[in-house]
Amino acid sequence: MFSKMTITIVGIGQIGGSFALALKQNKIGEKIIGVDLEEVISNPLIKRIVDLPSSDLKESISKADFIFLATPVNTIIKLIPEIVSYMKPNAILLDSGSTKREICEKMKDFPEYMLIGGHPITGTEKSGFNASNPSLFRNRIFTLTFPTSKSMRAKDFVFNLLKKIGAIPLKIDAEEHDRILSMTSHLPYILSLTLSFLAEQQIKDNPITKKLIGNGLLSTTRLSLTHEEMGVGIIETNKEQIIKRIEEFSSKLNQIKKLIENENIKKIKEWLISTRNFQQSLRSK
């Protein structure tokens, strides 16, 4: 079933490129078409990742049995209507956007097609096909949202395909996805940006600060390296949930501030122990 398909991947960055390599590694698909900008597909190295690089969206989609949409969130939303107009009637589309509510609302506009919202809980701050890794999805959750009854027809197919590349498919509601990810991914991104901004200001005020930056700051600001197009899409399409998490974080930070101001060493120590135990439990799974 999987070996004879023509698969089109739109967006050959880290996620799209890794998906292509994972498909190849597991002998899924007879032909893998990669669609991107001319400046990307003209790179001779791209042929190590996809069989046929192309900048022609219409032709590439019209040939596809399965479509993987791996662009920033805002681009996904804009592309869905155009892609649907080129799709074969029984083709399946799966996206990989970091937020799901607005993408799935757009998918509902086309109930006669098998359009599935997806988000692999994986990836790094790196971008571009040079960051592709065939093992990127292995043992990682890949959330799936089925916005219409037609999309549910493709559930078993997509679950089995993702399992073949080593991913762990998980069905989830779009609203719940965005609420949870606002805590587990989007707030950390905002905090990373904020810490980076503060560090930049400190360095401007006192240049020696740069010489004293350690792994603590580098690790906690790693997410600020995320490409701005991805960041803008996440913030625009999940702003209500992100704002709620920022408010919750600000409230918790003020509680910690008061503990420090009051020199409540006993409470501070209890907080440090509790937090360390929680972190150990996360890492022992």
CATH number of the domain that residue 242 is part of: 1.10.3660.10
- pLDDT number for residue 285: 60
Instruction: Give yes or no: residues 43 and 155 share one domain.
Output: yes
Instruction: Give yes or no: residues 37 and 148 share one domain.
Output: yes
Domain boundary among 119, 144, 172: 172
> What is the average pLDDT across 5-15?
95
The total number of structural domains in the chain stands at 2
- pLDDT band for 3, please (50, 70, 90 cuts): confident
Q: What is the pLDDT of residues 73-103, one digit of tens each?
A: 999 999 999 999 999 999 999 999 999 999 9
Instruction: Give yes or no: residues 140 and 59 share one domain.
Output: yes
Instruction: Give yes or no: residues 200 and 143 share one domain.
Output: no
> What is the average pLDDT across 219-227?
92
Instruction: Give yes or no: residues 112 and 204 share one domain.
Output: no
Domain boundary among 144, 172, 200: 172
Instruction: Give yes or no: residues 134 and 24 share one domain.
Output: yes
User: Which residues in the chain belong to E strands, given as ranges?
Assistant: 6-10, 31-35, 52-54, 66-69, 92-95, 114-120, 141-145, 168-171
Answer whether residue 132 is part of any domain. yes
And the tokens for 73?
């969130």
Per residue, what are the HEC states of 30-52?
CEEEEECCHHHHCCHHHHHCCCE
Domain boundary among 149, 172, 195: 172
Answer whether residue 263 is part of any domain. yes
Instruction: Give yes or no: residues 47 and 130 share one domain.
Output: yes
Contacts of 281 (CB under 8 A, 6+ apart): none
Instruction: Give yes or no: residues 201 and 155 share one domain.
Output: no
Contacts of 284 (CB under 8 A, 6+ apart): none
Domain hosting 217: range is 177-283
Is the pLDDT at 128 greater than 80? The verdict is no
Instruction: Give yes or no: residues 66 and 90 share one domain.
Output: yes
- The beta-carbon contacts of 192-198 under 8 Å, at least 24 apart in sequence, are 192/220, 192/221, 192/222, 192/223, 192/224, 193/223, 193/224, 193/231, 195/220, 195/221, 195/224, 196/221, 196/224
Of 194, 183, 173, which is closest to residue 241 (Cα–Cα)?
A: 183
- pLDDT number for residue 129: 77
Q: What is the pLDDT of residues 25-59, one digit of tens each?
A: 999 999 999 999 998 888 888 888 999 999 999 99
State the average pLDDT for the chain. Answer: 94
- pLDDT number for residue 17: 94
CB 35 within 8 Å of CB 20: no
Angstrom distance (rounded) from CA 234 to CA 232? 6
Is the pLDDT at 205 greater than 90? The verdict is yes
Answer whether residue 1 is part of any domain. no
Is the pLDDT at 264 greater than 70? The verdict is yes
Is the pLDDT at 124 greater than 90? The verdict is no
Instruction: Give yes or no: residues 159 and 215 share one domain.
Output: no
Instruction: Give yes or no: residues 197 and 233 share one domain.
Output: yes
> What is the average pLDDT across 231-256?
96
Instruction: Give yes or no: residues 183 and 137 share one domain.
Output: no
- pLDDT number for residue 24: 94
CATH number of the domain that residue 123 is part of: 3.40.50.720
- The angle, 0 to 180 degrees and rounded to 10, between the axes of the packed helices 265-283 and 239-261 is 140
Answer whether residue 113 is part of any domain. yes
Answer whether residue 245 is part of any domain. yes
Answer whether residue 162 is part of any domain. yes
Answer whether residue 33 is part of any domain. yes
Angstrom distance (rounded) from CA 12 to CA 10? 6
Furthest-apart CA pair in the chain: how many Å?
A: 68
Answer whether residue 77 is part of any domain. yes
- pLDDT number for residue 200: 95
> What is the average pLDDT across 131-156?
95
> What is the average pLDDT across 227-232?
92
